[in-house]
Chain A
Amino acid sequence: QVRLVQSGPEVKNPGASVRVSCKASGFSFPSFGFIWVRQAPGQGPEWMGWISASSHATSYARRFQGRVTMTTDTSTSTAFMDLSSLTSDDTGVYFCARASLTVRPDDAFDIWGQGTEVTVSS
């Protein structure tokens, strides 16, 4: 079964960092890229960036550049998203989704993780 399974909910203090994982199964992990998307409460998804599972090339949205790091581990078929210097504005649900191996404007995201809730609060 083709699926992405994400790590569990996180509660963080302002200024801390968070790591969310996304484990793939049922397909060839190195043949794809992965995007990360944030969804704040009551809002639409927001693209954070993309990573190639095989080349580890990345493309980050400008507003997250400097705070986000995306990595992959092909030995465990897992993608990771690290976000640092958290503020309350980072509270939301974070999704990974399967993407193309290269960044392309005609891409569509057909497999999604279940989402990871991140709460930033003191």
Chain B
Amino acid sequence: QSVLTQPPSASGTPGQRVSISCSGDNSNIGKNLVCWYQQLPGMAPRLLIFRNNQRPSGVADRFSGSKSGTSASLAISGLRSEDEAVYYCAAWDDNLSGPMFGGGTKLTVL
């Protein structure tokens, strides 16, 4: 279903910096803004990044977002055990006429 492609998994050790990619096309990421959401097990998604690189109040500055062309990335620095979660990218898709979510990347903190 999703046309926003994310790696299924990523990992890092405490204190490391990890990056999660999200690849789309010109109907979504290429012309629209990207959001990132964090979902802990059994919980609702939580907004981490909006408008490509903006953080809502309350989100640590360890989380940062970027976009280039038809791809986007979420970087997490100073990795902590509580960062272990599934991360989803999202962007408006012109074909869907609504927001599309990526398949998710499960981040494991080793």
- Evaluate whether A44 and B102 lie within 8 angstroms (CB atoms) in the complex, with A95-B45, A110-B56, A112-B46 already known: yes
Q: Tell me if A46 and B92 are in contact (CB < 8 A).
A: no
Nearest-neighbour CB distance to chain A for B85, whole angstroms, equals 13
CA distance A103 to B32 in the complex (A): 14
CA distance A103 to B92 in the complex (A): 10
CA distance A35 to B92 in the complex (A): 13
- Evaluate whether A112 and B44 lie within 8 angstroms (CB atoms) in the complex, with A44-B103, A107-B99 already known: yes
Nearest-neighbour CB distance to chain A for B35, whole angstroms, equals 5
Give the residues in chain B near A106, CB-CB below 8 Å: 32-33, 51, 92
Give the residues in chain B near A76, CB-CB below 8 Å: none
Instruction: Tell me the total A-B contact number using a CB cutoff of 8 A.
Output: 66
Give the residues in chain B near A43, CB-CB below 8 Å: 1, 103-104
Give the residues in chain A near B102, CB-CB below 8 Å: 44
* Residue count of chain B within 8 Å CB distance of chain A: 26
- Mask, A56-74, CB within 8 Å of B = 1, is 0001011000000000000
Which A105-122 residues have a C-beta within 8 angstroms of B? Answer: 105-110, 112-115
Interface of A is mostly: loop
Q: Tell me if B101 and A108 are in contact (CB < 8 A).
A: no
Q: Tell me if B50 and A113 are in contact (CB < 8 A).
A: no
Which B1-35 residues have a C-beta within 8 angstroms of A? Answer: 1-2, 32-33, 35
Question: Is B75 interfacial (CB-CB < 8 Å)?
Answer: no
Q: Tell me if A45 and B47 are in contact (CB < 8 A).
A: no
Nearest-neighbour CB distance to chain A for B38, whole angstroms, equals 11
In this complex, what residue of A is CB-closest to B45?
A: A112
Of A62, A97, A108, A115, which one neighbours B51 at CB under 8 angstroms?
A108
Nearest-neighbour CB distance to chain A for B98, whole angstroms, equals 5
In this complex, what residue of A is CB-closest to B48?
A: A108
Question: Is A47 interfacial (CB-CB < 8 Å)?
Answer: yes
- Evaluate whether A44 and B101 lie within 8 angstroms (CB atoms) in the complex, with A105-B92, A106-B51 already known: yes
CA distance A59 to B93 in the complex (A): 14
CA distance A43 to B106 in the complex (A): 11
